Structure 1
Amino acid sequence: MLTRFLTDVRITFNPFSARSKSARLFLSLIPPNARTEGMKVEAKMLPRTSQEPANLAVKFKDGKEMNLDLSKMRITDVMEEVDRHSRTLARKEELLGN
């Protein structure tokens, strides 16, 4: 997963819910040095009895924000959505020679 174009990651999930598996896996895919490189990571864990769906909000370097309902998505779908925009930014960066 391309994370160098992410600036802000906000995730809300119930760690005890089976529907939050994508949220837990997404958090595990963020590299350990992401915060030192400028990424803001905010994880809010809901109580065990909460029925609120898992949610992911991602902000990219170009200002685009993406909100995903993780309770209805598999981790491959989430990665595909995030990587799609990241690849576009990588292509633009490559064309500009940065």
Structure 2
Amino acid sequence: MITRFLTDVRVTFNPFSPRSKPARLFLSLIPPNARLDGMLIDSKMLPRSSKEPASLTVKFKDGKEMHMDLDKMRITDVMAEVDRHSRQLARKEELSGN
């Protein structure tokens, strides 16, 4: 997963719910030094009895914000969405000569 272009990650999930697996896996895919590189990571764990669905919000360097309802998505779908926009940003950066 391309995390170089991410600036802000917000995750809300119930760690005991099987439907929160994509949220947990997404957090595990973020490199350990991401916060040192300037990425803001905000994770909110819900109580065991909560019925609120897992959600993920990702903000990119170009200002685009993606809101994903993880209740209906698998981790491969989430990674594909994030990588699609990251590849577009990488292509723009490469073409501009930076």
Q: TM-score, normalised by structure 1?
A: 0.99
TM-superposed deviation, 1:71? 1.2
Matched letter for residue 20 of structure 1: S
**The residue matched to 2:57 in structure 1 has which SS?**
strand
- Match in the other structure for 2:44: 44
Stretches of 4+ aligned residues off by more than 4 angstroms: none
Aligned to 2:53: 53
Letter in 2 for 1:93: E
Q: Which residue of 2 aligns with 1:65?
A: 65
After superposition, residues 85-96 of structure 1 pair within 5 angstroms as 85-96=85-96
CA offsets, 1:33-59, max 9 Å, x none? 000000000000000000000000000
For 1:71 and 1:3, the matched residues in 2 are separated by 22
**In structure 2, C-alpha distance between the alignment counterparts of 1:90 and 1:60, rounded to whole Å:** 12
Determine the structure 2 residue equivalent to 1:9.
Answer: 9
Counterpart residue number, 2:19: 19
Where does the alignment leave 5 or more consecutive residues of structure 1 unmatched? none
CA–CA separation in structure 2 for the residues paired with 1:25 and 1:72: 15
Amino acid at match of 1:75: I
Please give the TM-score of this superposition, normalised by the length of structure 2. Answer: 0.99
- Provide the C-alpha distance between the structure 2 equivalents of 1:97 and 1:41, rounded to a whole number of angstroms: 29
User: Is residue 76 of structure 2 the alignment partner of residue 76 of structure 1?
Assistant: yes
Query: CA–CA distance in 2 between the matches of 1:39 and 1:70?
Result: 21
